[in-house]
Structure 1
Amino acid sequence: MQTIITASETSSVSTRDRGLNYGDGFFTTAIITHGQVEHWAYHKARLIECAQRLGFPALEFSALESHITQQIASQVQAVLKIVVTRGEGGRGYAPPSECNLNIIVSVLPYPAHYHSLHETGISLAISPIKLALQPHLAGLKTLNRLEQVLIKNALQAEQSDDALVLDYNSNVIETSAANIFAIKNNKVISPRLDECGIKGVFLQSLCDKLAIEFKTISVDELTQAGAVFVCNSLMKIVPVKSIGEYCFDIAHSRSLLNELLAKEA
């Protein structure tokens, strides 16, 4: 069973909810444009994968999709967030044998600063907080986001827009809020996400347009690329203008990307 909750000032979730107590759940965040959820098929696939890999019962999408349609019909540009928890029950960490999932649906304002980042490019500091390796959770967007909270907290001491995040082997993984990819020798490369990190919906959709090689990438290799970009469902593709003290020509970056997209079209 599942219960759909519309997020509002009066909505509530039980203090016994496993999402609150253990982070036992997952979520996805999408952009709404003129009453439609962009890349919904990919967001739906993400929710299905998270449920399967975390041992949740299958989501009932017909009811969820109908609810979402009603909530976003009048939205020109906004953000849709879907949070799924295992609900109440179980003994300690052990999940209940039968779950009543809670699905919290929020419609939020679109972050206005994303528009300016497209024009100016994004600056990245290298985060002192590194990601732990956990293949069982790698790629998933779970409710366990304390690493990202620590990363954002450390970023407050920097003058950068976001942080480049490494794993404990000092390999590039992502930023605090987006995936990252680079163009090097006319090829698109992006970090492997099989041990940690989040497999973003927009990056997956980009694989339909570009041949992307997922590989182990060091900071040195990233800064030696011809162009670097970050991407997520809300900001889409934004060129990186700097990583630490290393700077990129974002006009050149855009040109390289447009050339590759034209070739693959």
Structure 2
Amino acid sequence: MTLHVRVDGASGERIHPMDRGLLYGDGLFETVLFRDGTAPLWQRHMARLASGCVRLGLPLPDAQALRSRCEEAAGTWPCAALRITWTRGPGERGYAAPASPQPTCVIAAGAAPVVASAAVECGVKVHLCQTRLARQPLLAGMKHLNRLEQVLARAEWQAADIAEGLVCDVDGNLISATAANIFVALGGTLVTPAVDHCGVAGVVREELLSALPVTVRPLTLEDLMHAEELFLTSSIRGALPVAECDGRRHVPGTFVRRAQAHLQRIGVMVAV
């Protein structure tokens, strides 16, 4: 994969060995879709990043400078996937944060993965993971750098035809996929799980909460078994129907089509 990488604005891939993002996961990240030089959900990404900085006590990035650097990095590709990594920067040994942190900003851009038209139209196959997410309200919703739970969940399958894995919390409530949020149709109502104890508040999830009638409430595995429709959302792939989950078949329905149509209108997805 060809990447355009900048560390603190300079070309290169060197990060201080005492950087707290590397040592402790002390930082945040955003994965942003740029299409023809424009990031349709940029404001939502920046709002989440700023909220995470406040919650973790990190200095906020210079929004204008960050945007300029990201636009420059993404400009090589008509459709780019760009990751912003924002850490507390280097520090001394131990968990105590430096009194005056000097954040590290890594921007890495590359061509966005191609989403197959069959996945958009017919859906994808997913696996129900055994790995469970811990409940931690202090970190819930943020895109913090510690993704070890997702790493363990993703290691549960190797089959090429499985596109994602669904994960529950330690109480057995359905939360999300490893790298996407989930929406479920039940009794004619569109539902998505709350992410106030664990999980990530995805920017596409937030966009659809503002555009469609969605109920936010806990979802159980029993709900999953009775779902009339399932679809996943992420900033890079938009909204993808779930066609099969551990042998149970699902048919794309009106809710995912409405979600896809909205995301096409704002430039997150392209018509197939």
Which residue matches 1:196? 198
Distance apart, 1:73 and its partner CA: 3.1
Distance apart, 1:257 and its partner CA: 4.0
1:141 has 2:146 as partner: no
The whole-number CA distance in structure 1 between the counterparts of 2:260 and 2:82 is 28
The whole-number CA distance in structure 2 between the counterparts of 1:147 and 1:82 is 21
Pairs within 5 Å for 1:106-117: 106-117=108-119
Distance apart, 1:128 and its partner CA: 1.0
Which residue matches 2:248? 246
CA contact (8 A) 1:125 1:158 kept: no
Aligned to 1:66, the other structure's residue is in SS state helix
Which residue matches 1:46? 48
Which residue matches 1:36? 38
The whole-number CA distance in structure 2 between the counterparts of 1:210 and 1:176 is 23
Gaps of 5+ in 2: 1-6, 266-272
The whole-number CA distance in structure 2 between the counterparts of 1:249 and 1:59 is 43
Measured against aligned partners, the alpha-carbon deviations of 1:37-72 in whole angstroms (never above 9, x if no partner) come to: 120000000110110011101221121112222222
The whole-number CA distance in structure 1 between the counterparts of 2:71 and 2:151 is 31
Matched AA of 2:8 = I
CA contact (8 A) 2:167 2:178 kept: yes
Shift in CA distance, 260/237, structure 1 to aligned 2, threshold 3 Å? closer
Distance apart, 1:241 and its partner CA: 0.6
Matched AA of 2:176 = E
CA contact (8 A) 1:28 1:141 kept: yes
Which residue matches 2:8? 4
The whole-number CA distance in structure 1 between the counterparts of 2:114 and 2:193 is 28
Aligned to 1:199, the other structure's residue is in SS state coil
CA contact (8 A) 2:115 2:237 kept: no
Aligned to 1:230, the other structure's residue is in SS state strand
Alpha-carbon RMSD across the aligned residues, in angstroms, is: 2.1
CA contact (8 A) 1:114 1:235 kept: no
The whole-number CA distance in structure 2 between the counterparts of 1:233 and 1:225 is 24
Which residue matches 1:73? 75
Measured against aligned partners, the alpha-carbon deviations of 1:63-94 in whole angstroms (never above 9, x if no partner) come to: 11122222223431110110001101144011
Identity %: 32
The whole-number CA distance in structure 2 between the counterparts of 1:98 and 1:116 is 50
The whole-number CA distance in structure 2 between the counterparts of 1:171 and 1:157 is 25
TM, length-normalised to structure 1: 0.90
Shift in CA distance, 14/114, structure 1 to aligned 2, threshold 3 Å? farther
The whole-number CA distance in structure 2 between the counterparts of 1:135 and 1:15 is 30
TM, length-normalised to structure 2: 0.88
Measured against aligned partners, the alpha-carbon deviations of 1:109-149 in whole angstroms (never above 9, x if no partner) come to: 21124544213311111101111111100011111011111
Q: How many residues align?
A: 256
Aligned to 2:130, the other structure's residue is in SS state coil
Which residue matches 1:15? 17
Match of 2:231 among 229, 232, 241: 229
The whole-number CA distance in structure 1 between the counterparts of 2:38 and 2:170 is 39
CA contact (8 A) 1:210 1:261 kept: no
